[in-house]
């Protein structure tokens, strides 16, 4: 029986765990190992009771680390082929004609995770930049969740792009071009899938130990050596306050270190959308623009910050300016069936509506949550069967962000999409996210904290 299948009869052993956690007692390594190994034998209502007890009384660091490791090894763990940098002497013994040749060089396997934010298209640019620097990018991504966009959704804007890869295809692509990104596989950390489905239905999602173990169990199972974490905080993030975000970031770094992973985390500001674009198609276009060397906003700052934790600024700039990062992006997209020549057509909307300022002032606030919700509604139209019709070309281009001065006639933003009637309503929602001031406003700090 798989961990996603359930029984209905109560487990006496599980009852003891629930009682212990209800009283605030810590679980032993053996107890947590038993729990995950017997997850398929435990009914939903007992797991839910335990999850609620954890939400109330928490897990200590040791418990969280042990739970994470057990979850990671509840399914397939990817063992990526390590190719050590070595020297081949093709004229052994002949010092004058000896040539040392470095082959099969790799700077490590990298996985990156964001806790989710509005306009967050960082992975689309960061992955090819790091791959062009010699790192191997191994990443499984998710779809849109609530008001935040999903990396998979953005990539599927590209005609032909395949996100459903077999493990053999995934590993082969990493070895051949240094980068592979696929939709989350049920083979990895199935215990997390079971627990998360119950958390999502029982108001037990917002628990720092449970969030940390969920994220890091999949990173361990994904086989990376280096894990980059972008913990977002603010109105457009799932973490609304800095204190909670700091707690999550520090805990995930500790879990990573306990699993011998080079783990680095940053706290980034999500009180306003990241970059200029919001929406699947526009965000893809902005990420490509960065790779072509045309982006110098906060998106570029965040990409440079994350890449800079494992590489130098000089070499990062070099692969962008030289076009190597864009070439790697093209190589990656085509390897997964994407048609680069059709991206422009797929991201061009039929209708475009600009909204202009009617007075002088400074942008004081730009509510990321309101914007994320508005663009999600514009892009995703629910159908009777519970699925969605998706307009990948729909989205927003921000021209004025917090701290910027505007004058009458200046463009504040532009919305685009293939449903003309919906654009005016969306524009009204976007302008409602703005707050202006007569006085000069300081631009917000993007990077709030670093952990390693």
Task: Mark which of 314, 344, 374 sits at the end of a domain.
Answer: 344
Pairwise CA distance, residues 6 & 41, whole Å: 6
Task: Mark which of 291, 319, 344 sits at the end of a domain.
Answer: 344
* 300, 401: one domain: no
Pairwise CA distance, residues 189 & 212, whole Å: 14
**Which residue reads 């790192």 in tokens?**
135
* 112, 220: one domain: yes
Q: Look at residue 399 in the predicted model and tell me its pLDDT.
A: 97
* 150, 231: one domain: yes
**How confident is the model over 230-287, as pLDDT tens digits?**
999 999 888 899 999 999 999 999 999 999 999 999 999 999 999 999 999 999 999 9
Residue 102 has pLDDT above 50, yes or no: no
For the chain, first and last CA: distance in Å?
39
* 329, 410: one domain: no
Mean pLDDT of all residues in 363-372:
96
* 276, 295: one domain: yes
**Which distant-in-sequence residues (6+ apart) come within 8 Å of 124 by Cβ?**
151, 154, 155, 283, 284, 287, 288, 329
**How confident is the model over 174-210, as pLDDT tens digits?**
999 999 998 877 778 899 989 988 998 898 988 999 9
Pairwise CA distance, residues 372 & 147, whole Å: 5
The mean of the pLDDT values for the chain is 90
Could you count the other beta carbons within 10 Å of the beta carbon of residue 270?
32
Residues taking part in catalysis: 113, 192, 199, 214, 218
Share of the chain above pLDDT 70, in %: 92
**Which residue reads 């969605």 in tokens?**
388
CATH classification of the domain holding 62: 1.20.970.10
Q: Are 402 and 366 in contact (CB under 8 A)?
A: yes
CATH classification of the domain holding 419: 3.90.1170.30
* 142, 32: one domain: no
* 315, 365: one domain: no
**Which distant-in-sequence residues (6+ apart) come within 8 Å of 19 by Cβ?**
none
Q: Is residue 94 part of a domain?
A: no
Pairwise CA distance, residues 335 & 313, whole Å: 28
Q: Are 176 and 351 in contact (CB under 8 A)?
A: no
Task: Mark which of 344, 379, 400 sits at the end of a domain.
Answer: 344
Give the range of the structural domain holding residue 328, as residue numbers without chain letter: 99-187+196-344
Q: Where are the alpha helices (DSSP H) in 122-230?
A: 122-132, 151-155, 167-177, 190-201, 208-221
Q: Is residue 144 part of a domain?
A: yes
CATH classification of the domain holding 335: 3.40.1030.10
Q: Is residue 2 part of a domain?
A: no
Nearest to 128 by CA among 120, 119, 139, 113: 139
Question: Buried b vs exposed e over 308-343: b needs ≥16 C-beta within 10 Å?
Answer: eebbeeeebeebbeeebbbebbbbbbebbebeeeeb
* 377, 340: one domain: no
Mean pLDDT of all residues in 132-153:
82
Lowest model confidence (mean pLDDT) among 72-81, 121-130, 211-220, 302-311: 72-81
Question: HEC string of 347-400?
Answer: HCCCEEEEEECCCCEEEEEECHHHHHHHHHHHHEEECCCCCEEECCCCEEEECC
| Tally of structural domains, the chain | 3
* 296, 308: one domain: yes
* 372, 405: one domain: yes
* 339, 351: one domain: no
């Amino acid at each position: 029986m798989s961990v996603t299948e359930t029984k209905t009869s109560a487990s006496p052993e599980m009852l003891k765990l629930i009682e212990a956690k209800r009283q605030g007692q810590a679980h032993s390594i053996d107890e947590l190992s038993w729990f995950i190994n017997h997850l398929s034998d435990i009914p939903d209502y007992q797991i839910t009771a335990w999850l609620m007890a954890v939400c109330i009384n928490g897990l200590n660091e040791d418990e969280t680390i042990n739970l994470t490791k057990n979850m990671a090894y509840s399914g397939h763990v990817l063992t990526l082929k390590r190719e050590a940098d070595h020297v081949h002497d093709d004229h052994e013994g002949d010092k004058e004609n000896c040539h040392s040749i470095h082959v099969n060089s790799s700077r490590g396997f990298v996985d990156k995770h964001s806790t989710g934010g509005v306009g967050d298209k960082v992975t689309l640019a960061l992955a090819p930049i790091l791959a062009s620097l010699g790192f191997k990018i191994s990443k499984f991504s998710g779809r849109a969740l609530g008001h935040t966009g999903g990396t998979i959704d953005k990539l599927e804007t590209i005609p032909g792009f395949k996100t459903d890869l077999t493990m053999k295809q995934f590993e082969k692509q990493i070895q051949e071009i240094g980068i592979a990104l696929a939709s989350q596989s049920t083979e990895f950390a199935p215990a997390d899938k079971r627990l998360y489905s119950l958390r999502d239905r029982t108001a037990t999602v917002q628990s720092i130990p449970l969030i940390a173990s969920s994220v890091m169990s999949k990173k361990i199972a994904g086989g990376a050596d280096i894990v980059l974490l972008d913990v977002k905080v603010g109105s457009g993030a799932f973490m609304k306050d800095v204190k909670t975000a700091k707690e999550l970031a520090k805990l995930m770094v500790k879990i990573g270190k306990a699993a011998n992973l080079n783990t680095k985390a940053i706290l980034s500001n999500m009180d306003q959308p990241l970059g200029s674009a919001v929406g699947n198609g526009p965000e893809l276009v902005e990420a490509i623009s960065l790779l072509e060397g045309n982006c110098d906003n906060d998106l570029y700052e965040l990409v440079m910050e994350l890449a800079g934790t494992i590489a130098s600024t000089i070499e990062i700039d070099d692969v962008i300016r030289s076009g190597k990062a864009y070439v790697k992006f093209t190589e990656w997209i085509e390897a997964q069936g994407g048609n680069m020549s059709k991206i422009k057509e797929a991201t061009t909307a039929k209708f475009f509506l600009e909204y202009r300022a009617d007075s002088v002032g400074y942008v004081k606030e730009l509510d990321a949550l309101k914007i994320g919700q508005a663009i999600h509604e514009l892009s995703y139209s629910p159908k009777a069967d519970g699925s969605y019709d998706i307009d990948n070309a729909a989205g927003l281009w921000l021209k004025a962000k917090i701290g910027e001065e505007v004058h009458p006639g200046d463009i504040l933003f532009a919305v685009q999409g293939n449903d003309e009637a919906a654009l005016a309503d969306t524009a009204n929602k976007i302008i409602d996210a703005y707050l202006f001031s007569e006085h000069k406003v300081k631009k917000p700090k993007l990077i709030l904290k670093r952990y390693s």
